Amino acid sequence: MYKASSNADHSERIAKLVAAFVTFGCVCFFVLVSKPEQQSPRWISTVPVATPLPSLEPPPKSVDPNQEFRSVPGRWASVDFTHYSYGPYKFYGGRKIRLSLKNGEYQYDFGDDDRGWFSLRDVYYFDVTGDLIPDAIVNLSHVECSVSCDGGANLLFIYSINAEGRVKELFRYETGSYAFGCGLKSVTLERKKVSLELFGRCPRPAMNDFGPGKFMVKDLTQLDFWFSEKGFLETKMEYVSTDVTDVKNYQAEFRIIKEPPGLIHP
């Protein structure tokens, strides 16, 4: 009887231990499953971030395609077009002057609200005549004022120079004004050819072709001049219909073409 009771107690203790172990395991499993996932700590840098400074360099300038033609060739080094006599000049009313610039300017005041000035705008050196010697292309501005000013006209000159330094005028053309018509829109220079575009319908140089209002001009005139042994001859005059254009403060465009596709005399 004693042995049987002892075995029964021992079995009971083992059963209780097994039950306790199972219960503890379930509790641990529940705790592990139900524990929220921990995230890795996020490190925040306390080092200040450098702020980029604005560039102190100026923005790049647009390239002037005519800059190379402003370099003075050796043969022209002794000719200063800022101090130069451009010969006689005749105004619309018949008054005549000798147009001589000093420091690139010539001013006049004839009274009765008749005043104005000539000024040198630019000089280009390019072989227009085709003799392999650069010619000088000179652009003057002429502004006339009475009650108000006319916005300016352009005087275009082309000069050649020989080996002795003697200068010869080959071409002279005066446009109308921007305020009253026939102001200069563009000039294209090629070998043996000069092309002009004028605002308005302009059958002759310096003609004022009044539009619907001051500085308001309609249509264009296109002119071509070819160089020959007789000088520059007009070979084309064509009108192009356009809408009315406001040309106040307009700056004429100069295009210089080094190697034209062909030189066929019309």
Q: pLDDT band at residue 208, thresholds of 50, 70 and 90?
A: low
Cβ within 8 Å of residue 235, ≥6 positions away: 224, 225, 226, 266
CA 247 to CA 209: how far, in whole Å? Answer: 14
Residue 266 pLDDT greater than 80, yes or no: no
CA 97 to CA 55: how far, in whole Å? Answer: 53
* 133-161 per-position pLDDT tens digit: 999 999 999 999 988 899 999 999 999 99
Q: Which of 53-62, 109-118, 198-207 is predicted with the least confidence, judged by mean pLDDT?
A: 53-62
Q: What is the pLDDT of residue 28?
A: 46
Residue 263 pLDDT greater than 70, yes or no: no
Residue 42 pLDDT greater than 80, yes or no: no
227 burial level (CB within 10 Å; 0-12, 13-18, 19+): buried
Residue 33 pLDDT greater than 50, yes or no: no
Summarize the confidence of residues 23-31 as an average pLDDT.
46
CA 137 to CA 122: how far, in whole Å? Answer: 8
Name the DSSP letter for residue 3. Answer: H
Q: Which of 2-6, 38-42, 123-127 is predicted with the least confidence, judged by mean pLDDT?
A: 2-6
CB 210 within 8 A of CB 181: yes
Summarize the confidence of residues 110-137 as an average pLDDT.
95
- Which of 180, 181, 141 minimizes the C-alpha distance to 157? 141
In our burial notation (b when 16+ CB lie closer than 10 A, e otherwise), range 251-265 reads: ebebebeeeeeeeee
CA 226 to CA 193: how far, in whole Å? Answer: 5
Q: What is the pLDDT of residue 122?
A: 97
Summarize the confidence of residues 163-183 as an average pLDDT.
94
Residue 41 pLDDT greater than 80, yes or no: no
Summarize the confidence of residues 223-232 as an average pLDDT.
95
Q: What is the pLDDT of residue 146?
A: 87
Residue 253 pLDDT greater than 50, yes or no: yes
- Which of 82, 77, 87, 144 minimizes the C-alpha distance to 117? 144
